[in-house]
Chain A
Amino acid sequence: GEDVEQSLFLSVREGDSSVINCTYTDSSSTYLYWYKQEPGAGLQLLTYIFSNMDMKQDQRLTVLLNKKDKHLSLRIADTQTGDSAIYFCALDTSGTYKYIFGTGTRLKVLA
Chain B
Amino acid sequence: DGGITQSPKYLFRKEGQNVTLSCEQNLNHDAMYWYRQDPGQGLRLIYYSQIVNDFQKGDIAEGYSVSREKKESFPLTVTSAQKNPTAFYLCASSGWGAGATNEKLFFGSGTQLSVL
Contact = CB atoms under 8 A, between A and B. Distances in A.
Interface stretch (A53-61, A63-71, A76-84, A100-108): A100-108
Please classify how large the interface on chain B is, using the bins under 10, 10 to 19, 20 to 34, 35 or more. Answer: 20 to 34
A45 B3 CA distance: 13
A102 B42 contact: yes
Interface in A86-109: 88, 90, 92, 97-99, 101-104
Contact of B31 (A33, A41, A97): A97
Main secondary structure of the interface of B (DSSP, over half): strand
A31 B102 contact: yes
B43 interface: yes
B27 to A, nearest CB: 13
Nearest to B108: A42
Interface of A: 4, 8, 30-31, 33, 35, 40-45, 48, 50, 88, 90, 92, 97-99, 101-104
